[in-house]
Structure 1
Amino acid sequence: MGKQRKPVPGKDHLHIFGPAVLLVLLGFVLAYQFVQPAPPERIRMATGLPDGAYYLFGQAYRERLLQEGIELEILDSAGSIDNIGRLSRGEVAVALVQGGTSGNTPEEAGLRSLGSLYFEPLWVFHRRTQPVGRLTDLQGLRIAIGAEGSGTRSLALQLLADNGIAPGNSPLLETGGQAAADALLNGELDAAFFVASPLSPVVRRLLEAEQIQLLSFTRAEAYTRSHRFLSSVILPQGVIDLKRNLPQRPTILLAASANLVVRDDLHPALIGLLLQATRTVHGNGGWFEQSGQFPAPEYLVYPLSGEAERFYQYGPPLLQRYLPFWAATLVDRLKVMLLPFLALMLPLFKIMPPIYRWRMRSRIYRWYREVLTIDHLLFQPDADLEQARAALERIEHEVAHIEIPLSYAEELYDLRLHISLIQQKLERQVGEGG
């Protein structure tokens, strides 16, 4: 008789639960194919000239994103038109764009706005020696309209054309920023257009210059009716310098809105993070904005991003409110992994206990077939009792070495009791036959 190999409990568990574990792992592997890639740790943003507000705000966004482990590379540019081109070509993922500068070209179809950030006034400065009451008075004067590729140039050309001013009747110089301000202050220009935040160093410098006058748009309502992307805002008297009472009267300005624009393939998790950064930077308002007015899903250059729309409706993503950005994005990406858990693990939790019970009991019940066969054999007149005795001894020996959990000991001892009963019956028949 060969030596009976003892069952190995760990191996038994592997046989029972191994296929289920493999099935679940396969489900996780398949589900992982649908997990979104992690957001990039570095993205590029086009802003504006280094002395402009776009560049300054870009630096503020950069500091906010660095707190969450995302590096925002700030690139200076000629302005909004240049920024749109860089976005369309995929050179940058994010950019600041002035309202009214969209060309609606096929290349721009993949661009989305995350919202408007603040009012961006149009500042038309002229030398006090020039009597300018409205834009028509600029005809024939030397005018800086902004650099090539800037939103300032695009808007200035529109408004000047509305007033009959064109390169044919007035010298329009494509210069802007600090260079235009220097030329205006030095008398090399008569007027200059700027589209910028009041925080812009160039604007503040010109507002405080005694030889420079800021034009008030007394016909602002006419302009806003003709150009829906423009709004009318008031620069209050004395807001620049109360001591010097600058400006000396309330000044009406036209204003576009600065938009944060992204490519539609930007990782969705970064959209919520960018909007939180803009809320931190612009949420308190300014000279022309109320607290909490911006960022806003209005005054848009391009269609609003779906992720941004959800942000305005429900606030920041739930996970980003309570977890660090890296942890929130990890959990959000892996939520699809819950599918195999729900689809496989829960049913397995229900069917595996019965399978385990059946497997344990099968070690015991499988011997009953041989025991019953021997029992039936004892009723036959020509039964080989010695062979039956040997078979019972073998069964008893092997059953004694069965290893099962204590919770199934009752079934094991029932089997051993039944074997003992058959042995007693066999011994009686042997005695009677003797």
Structure 2
Amino acid sequence: MNKDSLRIAFVSLIILVAGFGIAYQFVEPAPPRAITIASGGPSGAYFAYANRYAEILARQGITLTVLETAGSLENIDLLASHKVDVAFVQGGTGDAHKNPELVSLGSLYFEPLWVFVRAGLQVEKLNDLNGLKIAAGAMGSGTWAVAQQLLDINQMPTDAPTILHMGSNEAAESLLKGDVDAAFFVTSPTSALIGQLLAEPAQSQVKLLNFIRAPAYTRQLRALSAVTLNQGVISLGRNIPAHDITLLAPAATLAAREDLHPALQTLLVRAASEIHKDGGLFEEPGQFPSSRYVDYPMSDDAERFLKNGPSFLERYLPFWAAVLVDRLKVMLIPLLTLMIPLAKILPPAYRWRIRSRIFRWYKDLIRIEQSALKTQDAKTRTALRAELQTMADEVRDLNVPLSYTDEVYNLRLHIELVMRSLRPPLQ
């Protein structure tokens, strides 16, 4: 490669580097390698699921720290105060107007409200519990958020001394001991605590309330859905439950701050698909994760994933490679906007550069020829011949690409032509 080619290539490289430098200012930063999720108590489904999310994200090099909390309401506060990046939130407990900076990554599964009542009590409807001792969930928990709404619409006082606030394990223990008459739980049917209360010998001590007025509740509280715990679904051999039971169920959702990196939002939804896609006792396969049953606006990235699945890059590249390519795709803009014009400009520029090395001699050649026509002084013409001979020697040493040698030879012919006009006539 000659010097002219190197100069033009160097200038082009500087232009491209400058373009990439400007474009890089608009490249989205890389996602953080560690985030925190607010779960719930260690005995609850949120905590168990959070650890499954942590395992899946660890495969992609992301550390997900699981933070134990009192439940949904505390999780929302932690999100709003920037203390966690993502959290499990029970449907119906979030307020998009109060926390506009939060988004939903989708609903995950139905999380039924289980109301267990001491055996022997004549309780057919929720308001039959009025005046009895009720363990209605810990303050700040999703259980209390739902219980409070249900007590309100049944015109039952929520601040009565018979309304007790305690965690799930304490509530179950108090119910089995007979210290409370009823206990509310909002949790997955896979919870060990629910399994304990539904199994024998607990069934001789407590019974599960059947929400016979479920349609009325779901019309007044839109965050709730009616689901059926079918006869024998817990244990066919022991026929647990002994008959179909209707329950009210909010949906467990995954919420995040809207400034959580888009790649991590997509990765979390992808993990949710892996964990929840098969459904359960109350969910059909493929029903979750879903953009329904959410309190906060859906994240654009999450909704796009739920609608279209993983992108082309996510299907065929590891997470970090897909993120890197996606981040740097903005660099294609300067590549295209600069390379296309450069491809049109560089060949003419190269030709101009080479030909300018040849044509610059013509200025002196024309000057010498015009001087020769204006004078017949022997001394002056001798000096012009010497100058012309120097030019001829320099042109002979001129190095140009083969495709331009014809122009060099034309220049040498023109130099020889002027040289002839300066030679003295033969005597």
TM-score by length of 1: 0.93
The answer to whether 1:56 aligns with 2:42 is no
Instruction: Give the drift of 1:176.
Output: 2.3
In the alignment, structure 1 residue 152 sits paired with structure 2 residue 143: yes
For 1:142 and 1:164, the matched residues in 2 are separated by: 16
Q: 1:315 to 1:168 in 2, by over 3 A?
A: closer
Unaligned runs of 5+ in 1: 1-7
Say which of 10, 17, 22 aligns to 1:25: 17
| Match 1:406 to one of 379, 387, 402 | 402
Unaligned runs of 5+ in 2: none
Q: Tell me the equivalent position of 1:391.
A: 387
Amino acid paired to 1:397: D
- The one-letter code of the counterpart of 1:117 is L
Q: Does the 8 A contact of 1:139 with 1:170 survive in 2?
A: no
Partner residue in 2 for 1:9 = 2
Give CA deviations for 1:133-162 in whole Å, capped at 9, x if unaligned. 111222232211111110101111221232
Are 2:346 and 1:355 equivalent residues in the alignment?
no
The letter for the 1-side match of 2:163 is L
Q: Which amino acid in the other structure matches residue 178 of structure 1?
A: N
CA distance in 2, matches of 1:137, 1:28: 71
What is the letter of the counterpart of residue 94 of structure 2?
S
| Identity among equivalent pairs (%) | 50
Report the Cα offset of residue 254 of structure 1: 0.4
Per-residue deviation at 1:396? Answer: 1.3
Matches within 5 A, 1:201-212: 201-208=192-199, 209-210=202-203, 211-212=205-206
Quote the offset at 1:381 in angstroms: 4.9
Q: Which residue of 1 aligns with 2:310?
A: 316
SS at match of 1:356: helix
Match of 2:111 among 114, 120, 129: 120
- After TM superposition, the structure 1 stretch with the greater mean CA deviation from structure 2, 25-34 or 48-57, is 25-34
Aligned pairs for 1:293-312 (under 5 A) are 293-312=287-306
1:308 Cα deviation from its structure 2 partner: 2.1
The size of the alignment, in residue pairs, is: 422
Matched, 1:263 2:291: no
- 2:366 is the counterpart of 1:372: yes
Per-residue deviation, residues 57-92 of structure 1 (Å, max 9, x unmatched): 111111111111111111110000000100110101
Which residue is 1:345 aligned to?
339
Once residues 151 and 17 of structure 1 are traced to their aligned partners in structure 2, the CA distance between those partners, rounded to angstroms, is: 65
The reply to whether residue 244 of structure 1 matches residue 235 of structure 2 is no
SS of equivalent residue, structure 1 residue 254: strand
**Does structure 1 conserve the Cα–Cα contact (< 8 Å) formed by 2:72 and 2:89?**
yes
Q: How far apart, in 1, do the equivalents of 2:357 and 2:96 lie?
A: 76
1:255 and 1:26 mapped to 2: Cα distance? 58
CA distance in 2 between counterparts of 1:381 and 1:70 reads 88
User: Equivalent residue for 1:4?
Assistant: none
Separation in 1 of the partners of 2:358 and 2:95? 81
C-alpha contact (below 8 Å) 1:141/1:170 kept by paired residues: no
**Aligned residue type for 1:398:** E
Q: After the TM superposition, which residues 13-92 of structure 1 pair with which residues of structure 2 at under 5 Å, given as runs?
A: 13-92=5-84
Contact 1:272 1:317 in 2 (8 A): no
Taking the aligned partners of 2:23 and 2:375, their CA distance within structure 1 comes to 66
Q: CA deviation at 1:104?
A: 4.9
Is residue 2:412 matched to residue 1:416?
yes
Q: Which moved more, 1:299-308 or 1:193-202?
A: 299-308
Q: Of residues 255, 276, 282 in structure 1, which corresponds to 2:276?
A: 282
1:334 corresponding residue in structure 2: 328
| Deviation of 1:425 (Å) | 4.0
Matches of 2:232 and 2:323, distance apart in 1: 47
Deviations 1:348-402 (A, max 9, x none): 1101110100110111111122223333344345143211220121001111222
Deviations along 1:213-268, one digit per CA (max 9) or x if unpaired, are: 11111111111111111110000110101100000001100000111111111111
Shift of the alpha carbon at 1:103? 4.1
* Preserved contact between residue 42 and residue 71 of structure 1 (Cα < 8 Å): yes
Aligned residue for 1:3?
Answer: none
